[in-house]
Amino acid sequence: MNISEFAKLAGVSKSAVSRYFNNGYLSSEKTALIKAAIEKTGYAPSLSARSVKNKITKLVGVIIPKLSSESIARITEGISGVLSEQGYELLLVNTANDYNKEIDSLELFRNNWVDGIILMASVFTKLHKTVLDKIRVPVVILGQNYKGYNCVCHDDFGAAYSLTKLMLDKGASDPACVGVRMDDLATGKLRFDGFMKALNEKGLSFHRENRETADFTFESGYEHARHLFSGSSRPDAVFCATDSIAAGVVLYCKENGIRIPQDVMVCGIGDSRLSRISSTTITSAHLHYKTAGIEAANMLLSQIDHGKSPPRILQLGYEIVQRESTAR
């Protein structure tokens, strides 16, 4: 049955049918006519021809910021394991860190039948909220704490604080921070805030020239280390927002005769393979990425099975793993 045939049977226009399936405005009278026709025919114009009557598709939309990240791979593994056991399939969308593509992906899943959505977003804009408010299926935000939504996140503030405090307790007095953009609330702002809390507790001043904003890459860490160590004064510790950035800092130091940890201590967050195989192994905070994926999938399934409930925030802990880069 095509849309014209269905519209004729329901006694409404094709545009009314289209608005209904795209969550557009429709009068209560036309909505009732279309629902009655769906009950009678099981008609579906998009992905969910399997069970429009119960609105069950066994499909979950998962939006990720990139494919190359080890942490994203671990998260996705956790999500997939839980959903596969319950007979669900993933529709995976890679946005390549393009926030406009995140919005487009949310709109894609909003306008097609999926049972739920897991969103890994780094920046949360007003447009994100506008689109999310229109989505009728359960949504779980993974990696960020957004008030008013179901979230699974990490203790980014605590991890950054503990790592910085570790280096200060080992004698650092002029630490630097190679972070990421501050509109990324978790990796950017919260990790920088944790770094600053440790400095404030020690009564240390923070110099503007000791702060760098990098991308999430090894190469960016290397280039920002070049800038940090090009001045007349050099930091004696570098807190990095991620392990990839930290590995770039370590390589720059090695190539330029800056001894780690004797001259400068370095740490990162993520406890990635890179932190363990670097020429100087890197002290890091282990974040439970696979567990985060598992918890996000379970949270979503609970919402699918039992209906929407008050938003829940689940914050996972961390473990500090000390290695050569801070072994004074």
3-state secondary structure 211-243: EEECCCCHHHHHHHHHHHCCCCCCCCEEEECCH
Which of the four pLDDT bands, split at 50, 70 and 90, describes residue 55? low
d(CA 167, CA 56): 52
Question: Percent of the chain scored above 70 by pLDDT?
Answer: 95
Give yes or no for residue 120 having a pLDDT over 50.
yes
Q: pLDDT-based confidence at 27, cuts 50/70/90?
A: confident
Q: How confident is the model at residue 45 (pLDDT cuts 50, 70, 90)?
A: low
Pick from 173, 262, 249, 167: which is nearest to 214 by CA?
Answer: 249
Domain boundaries in the chain?
3-41, 59-154+289-316, 156-287+320-326
| Local confidence band at 100 (pLDDT 50, 70, 90 cut-offs) | confident
Largest CA distance in the chain: 79
Residue 248 scores a pLDDT above 50 = yes
Q: What is the pTM of this model?
A: 0.81
Fold of domain 156-287+320-326: Rossmann fold (3.40.50)
Average pLDDT estimate for 227-252: 94
- What pLDDT does residue 99 have? 83
The CATH class given to the 59-154+289-316 domain equals alpha beta
What does the pLDDT read at residue 51? Answer: 44
Same CATH topology for 59-154+289-316 and 156-287+320-326? yes
Strands 318-321 and 283-287: antiparallel
**Average pLDDT rounded to a whole number, residues 319-327:** 98
pLDDT at 21: 76
pLDDT tens sequence across 149-205: 999 999 999 999 999 999 999 999 999 999 999 999 999 999 999 999 999 999 999
